Chains A and B, each alone.
Chain A
Amino acid sequence: MKKETTLAIVFGVLMGLIVAVILIFILRPSGEDRVAQSDSVLTPKSGEANIMPLDISEPSDREINLTDTIKISGKAKKNSLIVIESAISEEVLTNKEESFSINFPLAFGENLITIRAYVDKTQTVPQIKTLRVYYLKE
């Protein structure tokens, strides 16, 4: 083997080692950075793609009411078809904004109020909330 060839091989191996050292110890992120990166990946992100669940802020379940009308307020995905039903009444509405609110009549005694939101016209499965509200005079 010629002297130049041996030098070229040694030079090549040395260069390879230097590049490997640079990649492993200098450019590789530290443990803390990697934990931070993995954390940021694992954190659930809220975005428009997530489906907004039907949420009823009032009334609460098993609430006692002393009048014959109750205000039902909540939030659902915009432009949902919202159907509110009890044994004595029913209301249909669409929400231009996420929030919606409506006055709803109560019968004396227990009122089983079912609120269904059809958030997507391609889905026949609604989001459902069921409340029992009691109109009782003490």
Chain B
Amino acid sequence: MKIKIFVLTLFLLIFITANTVIGQDSTGELEEIQEFKDKLASKVAELQQNEDKAIAGFASDINKSSLKIITSNNEKYSVEFDDLLTKYFSIGNSITEKSREDISEDDYVIVTGPVNGDIISANGIYIDTQYVSGSGIVSQTDQSNLALTIITLENDTFTIDVETSTKKQIINIKELKLDNVGFSTIKAGDVVHFIYKKSNEENKNNRYSADKILVVPQEYFSK
């Protein structure tokens, strides 16, 4: 009997000890695994944040799984869609969620997501408007058509239509602040900065309707 009790006690002790040790090991391992998982998740998030870029260009060759974009620097990228991950938006007065079918050829799109060479795995695609800016010296003012002929630094000639909706400002050279200005105040010899919306259609005449102009009066330079 004593032997049986001794053997049972010994077995129980071995079982409890083993269980405790195994339990400790598995708890420790779980903690280590959890810590490793956390580190991995944090590293993945960090890498994703670093790798996520926004690249914008005009859309072409749109199909069910991809499209192509050409940036303003003439770089070409292939954009790959993911049925579950990729989200589509349109940016106007407000942001509205769209679907892949809403993207048309020649739309200006901003694509976000990891970039691998010239392939972008799209997380988000935003249909937006492209703006272009330029500057140069006014060579002619057309009072009847409210148009400015501007020669840029690159020696290109632009005709900029100043619409009633165009925001027109001039630098007040005494106070160095911006004032509103009328078209008639602008003179040949002034420096003008302009911003206009660009479409993908070819514009051979270099004639654009300005969204805004900012005049640096020639008097600033002759002080």
Which residues from chain B sit less than 8 Å from chain A, CB to CB?
52-56, 91, 95, 110, 112, 123-124, 126, 128-133, 135, 137, 153, 169, 171, 176-178, 191, 193, 195, 211-212, 214, 216, 218, 220-223
Contact = CB atoms under 8 A, between A and B. Distances in A.
5 contacts: A87-B131, A92-B171, A116-B135, A118-B216, A128-B135
Contacts, number: 89
For the complex of A and B, the 6 pairs showing the least CB-CB separation, nearest first, are: A134-B54, A109-B91, A109-B128, A114-B133, A112-B131, A87-B131
Interface string A44-82: 000000000000000000101000000000000000010
Contacts of A116: 135, 193
B129 to A, nearest CB: 8
B91 to A, nearest CB: 4
B178 A122 contact: no
Could you tell me the dominant secondary structure of chain A's interface residues? strand
Contacts of B53: 62, 64
B135 A112 contact: no
A134 B216 contact: no
Interface residues of A, number: 30
Contacts of A114: 133, 193
B45 to A, nearest CB: 12
Given A109-B91, A121-B220, A124-B137, A93 B176 contact: yes
